[in-house]
């Protein structure tokens, strides 16, 4: 009896940094074969240092779940340009906006995450944000910082400074 195998279409290699929509930036530490219910399945083993978590993503499903390579320089430039834009805050109830922001953060799309950071960013002279606003802002900012750090190959603090600079230019 031969074992059935899931298709072997690999687009990520060991050592690659990737973005997983629900968790942000991770690193592929290996590609392994596992047997599940009699099927041989090839999986990416992805670690997320910041969350001390390891995820196993079937190679055949990686694109379907939105796993993608790091943003290109062009997308990064566009995201930083988005931060410099004017905040677009809809006049809907906060609960509805919060759901939309959460969906944008979990999309894994750097441009959508940049929109959330831009819209929720508060300058020093603005009123204190609510707890839930601050939570969403911190979550979006953290995702963005991690991807900028990985793309630019800088540490977390330098990446945060790059984003702060763009946000300061927006306020000016």
Confidence (pTM) = 0.83
Give pLDDT, residue 8. 40
Give pLDDT, residue 160. 92
Give pLDDT, residue 6. 40
All structural domains of the chain, each given as residue ranges with its CATH number in brackets, are 4-69 (2.40.10.170), 73-171 (1.20.58.1290)
Give pLDDT, residue 56. 92
The DSSP-derived string for 2-31 is PPEE--------TT-EEEETTTEEEEEEEE
Give pLDDT, residue 49. 84
8 Å CB contact between 33 and 19 = no
d(CA 15, CA 28): 5
Q: From first to last of its 172 residues, what are the pLDDT tens digits of the chain?
A: 333 334 344 588 899 999 998 888 999 999 999 888 888 899 999 999 888 899 999 988 888 888 999 998 899 999 999 988 888 888 889 999 999 999 999 998 999 999 999 999 987 778 888 999 999 999 999 999 999 999 998 999 999 998 988 888 776 6
Contacts with 8 (C-beta within 8 Å, 6 or more apart), sequence order: 42, 59
d(CA 150, CA 167): 20
d(CA 89, CA 101): 11
8 Å CB contact between 57 and 4 = no
8 Å CB contact between 117 and 140 = yes
């Amino acid at each position: 009896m031969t074992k059935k195998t899931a298709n072997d279409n690999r687009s990520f290699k060991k050592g690659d940094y990737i973005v997983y929509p629900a968790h942000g930036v991770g690193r592929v530490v290996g590609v392994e074969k596992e047997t599940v219910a009699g099927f041989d399945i090839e999986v990416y083993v992805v670690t997320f240092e910041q969350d001390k978590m390891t995820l196993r993503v079937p190679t055949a499903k990686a694109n379907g779940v939105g796993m993608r390579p790091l943003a290109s320089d062009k997308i990064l430039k566009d995201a930083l340009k988005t931060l410099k834009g004017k905040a677009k805050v809809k006049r809907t109830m906060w609960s509805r906006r919060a759901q939309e922001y959460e969906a944008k953060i979990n999309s894994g799309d750097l441009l959508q995450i940049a929109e959330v950071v831009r819209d929720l960013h508060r300058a020093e002279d603005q009123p204190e944000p609510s707890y839930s606003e601050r939570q969403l802002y911190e979550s979006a900012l953290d995702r963005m910082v991690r991807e900028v750090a990985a793309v630019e190959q800088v540490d977390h603090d330098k990446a945060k400074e790059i984003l702060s600079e763009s946000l300061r230019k927006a306020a000016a």
